[in-house]
């Protein structure tokens, strides 16, 4: 399988050549030349373990790593030791257990990995893939990433202590939960550098993209990416849509809906691709918080990224995003994979503007992709957390609550709805306390994490200040 840029530049690339980088040199995002069609393999795959399924799916996209090596990487990544925080220990071996709240309404637990958010599902794989490729090429890498709360800790836990990797992680100063801050900033490993940016996640993401677009600096300092601009992140996330569908169905003629709490459009982009591969997904329900850029698009056809001043700090902070990187991947498909159209649309967006696809040829194509959407507020979040607790005796985190709220608005009789559970409650104890008047139970080994010494440098949202830190440490 080869990879092309959404903006049409350069020659098609092999997986290992795009694995370590972020944006394509022309500023676009990589996508496979085509989506493998797998509808006739679903019977064969039903009943596979998570690691086996991951191997089957990833081997369609990763064709330049020998099959035996890729299998070993999948087996090493998806273990019950790594994904061990399931709320039901008996289901831990499923890696992403399905919890049924009521008939045809399920949660897919994606946050049982080391940092208690769905990012671990892909990031643990990335850590192992990076190590494999860097060792073979005898190379080192300096990862530059941006986080609104969960990507950062997942990346740092996946890369800490690795001898050929340094991680420089930008986070929005003071905007994440106390637990999220502690999880990242308390790491004292010599290869981990936390940088708090005076701004929002989008400011940090802009800096990452600006560095990625600076070919000279990128090459000199061997800059790599772990955000979902990196194709490997999206590829790994495709797997759990298949696993969730297998868990919720018994035969191939059954369709399901997935509801996905969304910010950077990475998670739901993987769902879109699973659907394009032939997984029977009737609906992709996109849920936002008060930062509802994506909901606005799916309701109106207008994509209007917002400035920092218009981006709210919310109680589902990991979704406080107003410029959704991966949306470009979806639009590339929507406009018939025409890079000239993508270039034109993103000229508007990158210049601070917006675009409107409500009129013209693409408006009629949009319904074919199965998206619907909705948004959630702080009050909705509290009410949903309370309701799920009272009716089902389960605590759900604030992002998952946004998903449950919007999923309920889009239920179709007879169509199973699977809400992706993207984080665990302990990460957002402040809001759980506000909703339920009690603290979530936290694993013993995480007790007092907020009191550990923290290592973080604070900078303005300025490219040169971030570059200075990288130069100083490399």
Ligand X SMILES: N[C@@H](CCOP(=O)(O)O)C(=O)O
Ligand Y SMILES: Cc1ncc(COP(=O)(O)O)c(C=O)c1O
Active-site positions read 119
Q: Name the binder of 230 from ligand X, ligand Y, none, CB < 5-8 A by kind.
A: none
* 20, 108, 117, 129: residue in contact with ligand Y (rule CB under 6 A): 117
Which segment (132-140, 208-216, 259-267, 429-437) binds ligand Y by CB under 6 A? Answer: 259-267
User: In the numeric block, which tokens belong to residue 286?
Assistant: 């996109």
The position carrying tokens 């502690």 is 182
Least spacing, CB of residue 423 vs ligand Y, in Å = 4
In this structure, the number of other CB atoms found within 10 A of the CB of residue 211 comes to 22
Phi, psi of 283 (to 5 degrees): -140, 140
Nearer to ligand Y, 191 or 289 (CB): 289
User: In the numeric block, which tokens belong to residue 241?
Assistant: 């849509």
Residue 402 engages ligand X in binding (rule: CB under 6 A): no
Which segment (58-66, 84-92, 263-271, 465-473) binds ligand Y by CB under 6 A? Answer: 263-271
Per-residue mark of binding to ligand X, 175-214 (x: CB under 6 A): --------------------------x-------------
Which segment (89-97, 143-151, 368-376, 407-415) binds ligand X by CB under 6 A? Answer: 143-151
Q: What is the rounded distance in angstroms from the CA atom of residue 435 to the CA atom of residue 456?
A: 31
| β partners of residue 167 | 143, 192
User: In the numeric block, which tokens belong to residue 306?
Assistant: 């917002």
Q: Name the binder of 147 from ligand Y, ligand X, none, CB < 5-8 A by kind.
A: ligand X
Q: What is the rounded distance in angstroms from the CA atom of residue 98 to the CA atom of residue 266?
A: 21
Name 461's Cβ contacts closer than 8 Å, sequence gap at least 6: 197, 198, 199, 203, 204, 206, 207, 308
* 152, 261, 305, 416: residue in contact with ligand X (rule CB under 6 A): 152
- Asked if 150 and 183 touch (Cβ cutoff 8 Å), the reply is no
**C-alpha angle 422/198/150, rounded to 5°?**
15
User: In the numeric block, which tokens belong to residue 14?
Assistant: 């092999």
* 191, 230, 318, 431: residue in contact with ligand Y (rule CB under 6 A): 318
* 22, 127, 266, 416: residue in contact with ligand Y (rule CB under 6 A): 266
What is the separation of C-alpha 370 from the centre of its chain, rounded to a whole number of angstroms? Answer: 20
Which segment (16-24, 62-70, 217-225, 261-269) binds ligand Y by CB under 6 A? Answer: 261-269
Query: Which residues make up the interface to ligand X (CB under 6 A)?
Result: 147-152, 201, 227-228, 263-264, 266, 318, 325
């Amino acid at each position: 399988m080869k990879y092309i840029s959404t903006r049409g530049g350069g020659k098609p690339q092999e997986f290992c050549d795009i694995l370590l980088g972020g944006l394509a040199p022309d500023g676009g995002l990589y996508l496979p030349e085509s989506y493998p069609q797998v509808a006739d393999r679903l019977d064969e795959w039903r009943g596979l373990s998570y690691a086996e399924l991951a191997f089957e799916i990833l081997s369609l996209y990763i064709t330049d790593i020998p099959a035996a090596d890729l299998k070993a990487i999948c087996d090493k990544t998806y273990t019950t030791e790594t994904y061990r925080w399931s709320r039901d220990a008996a289901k831990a071996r499923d890696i992403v257990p399905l919890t049924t709240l009521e008939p045809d309404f399920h949660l897919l637990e994606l946050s049982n990995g080391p940092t208690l958010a769905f990012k671990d599902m892909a990031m643990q794989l990335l850590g192992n893939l990076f190590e494999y490729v860097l060792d073979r090429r005898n190379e080192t890498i300096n990862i530059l990433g941006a986080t609104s709360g969960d990507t950062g800790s997942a990346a740092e836990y996946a890369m800490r202590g690795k001898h050929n990797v340094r991680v420089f992680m930008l986070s929005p100063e003071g905007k994440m939960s106390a637990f999220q801050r502690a999880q990242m900033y308390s790491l004292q490993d010599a290869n981990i550098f936390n940088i708090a940016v005076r701004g929002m996640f989008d400011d940090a993401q802009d800096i990452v993209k600006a560095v990625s677009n600076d070919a000279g600096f990128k090459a000199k300092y061997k800059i790599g990416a772990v955000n979902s601009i990196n194709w490997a992140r999206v590829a790994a996330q495709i797997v759990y849509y298949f696993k969730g569908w297998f868990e919720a169905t018994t035969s191939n003629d059954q369709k399901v809906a997935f509801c996905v709490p969304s910010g950077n459009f990475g998670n739901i982009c993987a769902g879109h691709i699973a659907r394009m591969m032939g997984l029977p997904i009737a609906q992709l329900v996109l849920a936002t918080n008060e930062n509802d850029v994506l909901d606005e698009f799916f309701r109106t056809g207008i994509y209007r990224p917002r400035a920092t001043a218009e981006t709210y700090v919310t109680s589902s902070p990991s979704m406080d995003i107003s410029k959704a990187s991966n949306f470009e991947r979806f639009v590339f498909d929507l406009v018939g994979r025409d890079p000239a159209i993508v270039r034109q649309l993103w000229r508007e967006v990158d210049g601070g503007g917006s675009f409107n696809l409500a009129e013209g040829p693409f408006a009629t194509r949009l319904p074919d992709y199965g998206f619907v959407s909705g948004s959630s507020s702080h009050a909705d979040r509290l009410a949903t957390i309370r309701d799920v607790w009272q009716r089902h005796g389960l605590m759900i985190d604030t992002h998952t609550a946004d998903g449950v709220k919007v999923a309920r608005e889009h239920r179709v009789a007879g169509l199973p709805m699977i809400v992706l559970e993207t984080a665990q409650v302990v990460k957002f104890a402040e809001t759980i306390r506000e909703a339920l008047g009690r603290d979530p139970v936290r694993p013993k080994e995480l007790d007092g994490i907020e009191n550990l010494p923290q290592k973080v440098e604070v900078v303005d949202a300025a490219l040169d200040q971030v570059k200075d830190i990288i130069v100083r440490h490399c």
